[in-house]
Structure 1
Amino acid sequence: MSIGEETMSKTVVIGASSGLGRCIGVGLGQRGHQVAMLARRRERIEKAAKEAGPEAVAVECDVTDEASVRSAIGAAANALGGIDNLVYTPAIGSVMRLVDTDAQTWSRVFATNVTGAAVATAAAVPHLSASAGKVVYLSSDAGTFSPPWPGLAAYGVSKAALERLVQAWRAEHPDIAFTNLIVGECAGGEGDSATGFSSDWDRELATEFYPQWISRGCMPGQLMPVEDLIEVVHTILGTDSATSMPVVVARGAPSRPSPA
């Protein structure tokens, strides 16, 4: 839909109970979108939906369960009367040495970061094709930064796979606009809207790797205000169908040197 029609946009945000997903879902609702907030934690998404506005709905969805995803997408489409946009935000990643990363960890990370995105998109494609819709996937600098971030191998590899997945969807469904949104460091909002990405990290190991992340330029910028991220997503979804935005990068500005 074009910007002139954006107040009628029917947008599904997956991962909307916390962190950046919650910020985006609430922010889009407050900007006039009819939003379906999808996530596992019912109480949290109901609270988020209330903040998003009277047109918002809450739907339970576990992205690691295909039946749950397909049911949730169907319920969202019924509640909204169709789907114009899909925003996929869930991501997990633990700090771990590559040699210690077992098959269970790889499976868990890919189930959320890649497979969930693939299944959710597949479920939404019939609705998105009907509306010439848009899909935005939140990716990360970790998927493209070279050499890879030490200690975040599974996460970085999954984000690289997600970017390839987006390209594959674009190749098979040119009637839908797919955007890979690479997001730099962003702290999110307050309370449930704060990002919990690093909440279960091994602090000792993260402290060990942190100097390497800094020295290698993995974290070169300032924290991006979450309102700017919301506005970027809002802008992508509001562009005309004649506009292609295959890759968008949004990150904080370079750190300013300390005064002498």
Structure 2
Amino acid sequence: MGGGYADFDGLAAVVTGGASGIGAATAALLAARGARVAVLDQAVEAEAGGDGGGAEPRLALSADVTDDASVRAAIETAAEAFGGIDVLVNNAGIGAIGTVEDNDDDEWRRVFDVNVLGMVRVARAALPYLRRSKHAAIVNTCSIAATAGLPQRALYSATKGAVLSLTLAMAADHVREGIRVNCVNPGTADTPWVGRLLNQSADPAHERAALEARQPLGRLVSADEVAHAIAYLASPSSGATTGAALAVDGGMAGLRVRPPGEATH
């Protein structure tokens, strides 16, 4: 998956939800392109981090984005280890299934607490360090669910719609401070979470085929493809890009293609 060049040399990045899926792919890519990377997750592997010394390119930190004290402690540890923070990838999130009536108030609060307030807590803790960077960037992991109505995703879509609006508001608030804020909108990605959803269905193979078919490319998005989009938005090379939502969805948001085999007129 290597990046091919070292545009993140000398920069320090924090990736939440970095132990698996899109977060793990992003952390690996940023490190391959020269960044020192702190992975924040509830489940992190010790070998990813070393002793936290400033020379370590990777740092694994246990953190719960629903706990403000946990977040602040992890961000402070990362900043001290790396001498600052230049890039924040707000990727931690959880899913939810059902219509608007299928989840109770407690579940709505729980998913919003992770998917929206989790980003708020991490960004709030990181902003003092980002303000000191010459190449500060925040990238939030949003979703196609923020811009397209998907069945059985009411709660999840509501949180991702909030993330999209939050991204725009943060971009406006911090642009004059030299902090760029953007988001990626993945389509259905081939991640462990999607795999678990498929395994819970009555016919996993049929469900996977249906998810693949609704994306015009005819396949799921890979975690690596989303990671490369995140790296583009976080890189100093995209210094004129802020307040943008980059779709990585196989054409799902913008294309209206005919079913395979149907004649074109």
Write out aligned runs for 1:1-20 (5 A).
6-20=8-22
Write out aligned runs for 1:66-105 (5 A).
66-105=68-107
How high is the sequence identity, in percent, across the aligned residues?
A: 29
1:248 paired residue number: 246
2:160 paired residue number: 159
Given the superposition, is the C-alpha separation of residues 54 and 114 from structure 1 closer, same or farther in structure 2, using an over 3 Å criterion? same
Aligned mates of 1:253, 1:160 — CA distance in 2: 19
Matched, 1:179 2:176: no
Given the superposition, is the C-alpha separation of residues 182 and 49 from structure 1 closer, same or farther in structure 2, using an over 3 Å criterion? farther
TM-score (norm 2): 0.80
Q: Could you list the runs of 5+ residues in structure 1 that have no partner in the other structure?
A: 189-194
Question: Match for 2:193: what amino acid?
Answer: G
TM-score (norm 1): 0.81
Aligned mates of 2:188, 2:238 — CA distance in 1: 30
Matched, 1:199 2:201: no
Per chain length, whose mean CA-contact separation is higher, i.e. which structure has more relative contact order (CA < 8 Å, sep 6+)?
A: 1
**Contact 2:7 / 2:33 at 8 angstroms: preserved in 1?**
no
Aligned mates of 1:231, 1:201 — CA distance in 2: 25
Write out aligned runs for 1:1-260 (5 A).
6-42=8-44, 44=45, 46-49=46-49, 54-132=56-134, 133-145=136-148, 148-174=149-175, 175=177, 176-188=179-191, 195-197=192-194, 199=196, 203-204=200-201, 219-221=215-217, 222-240=219-237, 242-245=239-242, 246-252=244-250, 257=260
**Contact 2:140 / 2:183 at 8 angstroms: preserved in 1?**
yes
**SS across alignment from 2:131:** helix
**Contact 1:35 / 1:57 at 8 angstroms: preserved in 2?**
yes
Residue by residue, what CA displacement relative to the aligned partner does 1:30-70 show, whole Å, maximum 9, x if unpaired? 2211101111113x3x34458xx951111111011111111
Given the superposition, is the C-alpha separation of residues 197 and 70 from structure 1 closer, same or farther in structure 2, using an over 3 Å criterion? farther
Aligned mates of 2:225, 2:116 — CA distance in 1: 25
**Contact 2:215 / 2:249 at 8 angstroms: preserved in 1?**
no
Q: Could you list the runs of 5+ residues in structure 2 that have no partner in the other structure?
A: none
Given the superposition, is the C-alpha separation of residues 165 and 129 from structure 1 closer, same or farther in structure 2, using an over 3 Å criterion? same
1:4 CA displacement: 7.2
**Contact 2:215 / 2:250 at 8 angstroms: preserved in 1?**
no
Question: Match for 1:81: what amino acid?
Answer: G
**Contact 1:139 / 1:159 at 8 angstroms: preserved in 2?**
yes
1:27 CA displacement: 1.9
Kindly tell me the number of residue pairs found equivalent between the two proteins: 243
Aligned mates of 1:238, 1:204 — CA distance in 2: 39
Aligned mates of 1:121, 1:110 — CA distance in 2: 16
Aligned mates of 2:187, 2:12 — CA distance in 1: 27
1:192 paired residue number: none
**SS across alignment from 2:15:** strand
